[in-house]
Structures are given as C-alpha cells and as structure tokens.
Amino acid sequence: MARPLQVLLISGSIRTASTNTAVLTTLQQVVPEGVHAVMYLGLARLPHFNPDDDRDPLPPEVAALRAQIGTADAVVFSTPE
C-alpha cells in the first residue's frame, strides 16, 4: 500500500474567524482517500521575516515549518486579499 499524499495547509490569517482558515478546514475535510492534509498552526509564532536572520541556528518554529514543508508532497496557501 502506497503512503498517503501529504498536503500541508497554511492559512495566511491568524484571525479566529478567518475565512482563509475556514477554506482550508473544509479542504481538509473533503480530501479524497489517499490524501492526508495537515493544517499548519504555528503562523503566529513565526518571527518577522528578515533575510539577515536566515542562518543557523534557526528559530525553532522556522526550523519546524521548513521540516514540514520538506516532507510535504504539496503545500496549499490560503491568504487574505
């Protein structure tokens, strides 16, 4: 049996009632058999982006997100307008 397709879902909004997150939650509920969709929930913990800081050691939340992206077969972003 083949491993499920791994899809990482990332909402660009951290608002509690975010429609972007709602879209991804719905997607997570309707994926076909053989697809495992996981919501990334750490956006609010990421530091502000600064290319000067993109070096080891990375902040733990950045390293964790990069690892999740690295193991995903696909990434779906839903972002505010």
In whole angstroms, what is the distance from residue 81 CA to residue 59 CA?
A: 28
> Average pLDDT per run of 10 along the chain, which is 81 residues long?
93 95 97 97 94 94 97 96 73
- What is the predicted pLDDT for the residue at 81? 73
- What is the predicted pLDDT for the residue at 1? 73
- What is the predicted pLDDT for the residue at 2? 85
Q: List the one residue out of 60, 67, 68, 61 whose CA is nearest residue 46.
A: 61
